[in-house]
Amino acid sequence: MIILNTQGIVLKAVRYEENDVILTLFTRKLGKVAALAKGAKRNKSSFLSSSQLFSYSNYTLKKQGNMYRVSQSDIIKSFYDISYDIDAFSYATYITKLVEGSTLENQTNNRLFVLLAQTLHLYTQNDVDKQFITRAFEIKFLDYIGFKPVVNRCSSCGSEDLNKPVFNVDEGGILCGICSEHTENNLKIDVTTVKLMEYILSNDILKCSKAKVSKYITYELGKILNKYLNTYIDNVNLKSLYLLQNIQNNKGVDKDE
């Protein structure tokens, strides 16, 4: 029997039978795996906290057929506070679904694991721009799974002269003024947004979270990344973000009234 100790984050928790839960874990040592937590729904279960969505724990896993079984767990951080903040919960749901849908079983990605843990931590903080943090996560996520957009030079000719840049999803990033004349579906992008993308790709997300970014730049970045993700990543689930957008729009209506 294979027994392994590893840190893991709960991406999904599905009730199985009366008190059991099947967890989709993103782990340091195994990547994404399914694991059965027997009795996790019982009030006094030792697995109760570590089987909640977003929980970050140390797990002892035993291999049983095609699935693992949780034999022991010790919580590192529950991130339970996220559930009390609709913005944080929507963003956290979105990024965990992004990781779940874009990673393969048993394929490790330690940089992505650390990024996910750090981003969930940032969502629990009151003094960070959660919308910007999500945009930063998306850029670094694309980098770590092999779809990094080219932002420091023209993705077509390689020129570093980007005084009048555009972003072209099909070309995989920034185009210079000359190359953009020969392509379709170019997206307008501010030079400041280009520099911001470079900064995000060059620094960890904890450092990025301290940047002061205007709402306009964050909005422009979001529009571009939305198109990019939908082109290069299969089945991007934006439902949680659409829900958040509707709630924010309704808040705006209430204020106007």
Q: Tokens 């998306």 map to which residue?
A: 138
| Contact (Cβ atoms closer than 8 angstroms) between residue 156 and residue 175 | yes
Average pLDDT of the chain is: 91
The terminus-to-terminus CA distance of the chain in angstroms comes to: 64
More confident residue, 115 or 164: 115
- Averaged over 236-253, what is the pLDDT? 57
Domains of the chain, first to last: 3-78 (2.40.50.140), 82-249 (1.20.1440.120)
Whether the predicted pLDDT of 255 surpasses 60? no
**Residue 14 and residue 128: Cα distance in Å, rounded?**
31
Instruction: Return the pLDDT at 79.
Output: 94
Q: Which residues pair with 24 in a beta bridge?
A: 12, 34
Residues 6 or more apart whose Cβ sits within 8 Å of residue 34: 22, 23, 24, 25, 66, 67, 68, 105
Helices and strands in the chain, H and E counts: 7, 8
Whether the predicted pLDDT of 60 surpasses 80? yes
pTM greater than 0.75 (yes/no): yes
Of the given ranges (30-34, 234-238, 239-243), which has the lowest mean pLDDT? 239-243
- Averaged over 222-237, what is the pLDDT? 86
Whether the predicted pLDDT of 162 surpasses 70? yes
Instruction: Return the pLDDT at 253.
Output: 42
For 119-158, write each residue's pLDDT tens digit.
999 999 999 999 999 999 999 999 999 999 999 999 999 9
| Contact (Cβ atoms closer than 8 angstroms) between residue 138 and residue 31 | no
For 78-112, write each residue's pLDDT tens digit.
998 899 999 999 999 999 999 999 999 989 999 99
Alpha helices in 130-189 (DSSP H): 130-144
Instruction: Return the pLDDT at 233.
Output: 86
Residues 6 or more apart whose Cβ sits within 8 Å of residue 250: none
Q: How far is CA 190 from the centre of its chain?
A: 24
CA separation, residue 220 to residues 40, 175, 177 (Å)? 43, 16, 19
Instruction: Return the pLDDT at 256.
Output: 44
